[in-house]
Amino acid sequence: MEKVPGSYARYRIRRVGLGSLSKLGCVLGAVIYLLPSLLVGSGGLLAVRGVRRLLESWQQVELRLLGQPIPIDVVSLLHLEGVLRQVQLLDGLSVLLLIAFVAAGCGIGGLLFLIVGDLAGWVYNLVAAFSGGLEVELGEVRGDRLRPP
């Protein structure tokens, strides 16, 4: 097809490649889910750190009875030693857990967008087989303006 200055060309999209939709959906989903998974993961780690500090502060509670200090270990009293150990372990691995959570969030987001994109592409290809597809009109761009016909 010869290019004529200022002319428009009409094309019909009869089929969408599912492979390219899969790649685009996966990358787009991972990028979109990056910030939310980073925020949720950071919030979770801050919560773990807060629970750790709270439980550790309960180990040295002092109750005064008639002016006499009575030390009480609330963690032992409530049998929370195992919980405290787990929270301390999680807080110690916070950077690795954040990286794992963000990677899992991006992976899930990419997978969701891949599935939705492929489903939309499959439906489009099915409909386009009967309707002939989407028709677009393309014009040559010069600078920031479209040339008139």
The pLDDT of residue 30 is above 90: yes
* Mean pLDDT comparison of 59-73, 86-100, 106-120, 123-137, highest-scoring range: 106-120
**For residue 114, what are the CA distances in angstroms to 57, 65, 74, 92, 106?**
47, 65, 50, 35, 12
What integer is the mean pLDDT of 51-80? 80
Instruction: Provide, rounded to the nearest whole percent, the portion of the chain with pLDDT above 90.
Output: 39
97 versus 147: which is more confidently predicted?
97
Statement: residue 145 has pLDDT above 80: no
On average, the pLDDT of the chain sits at 85
Tell me the C-alpha distance between 86 and 99, whole Å: 19
Exposure string over 68-91, b if 16+ CB within 10 A, otherwise e: eeeeeeebeeeebeeebeebeebb
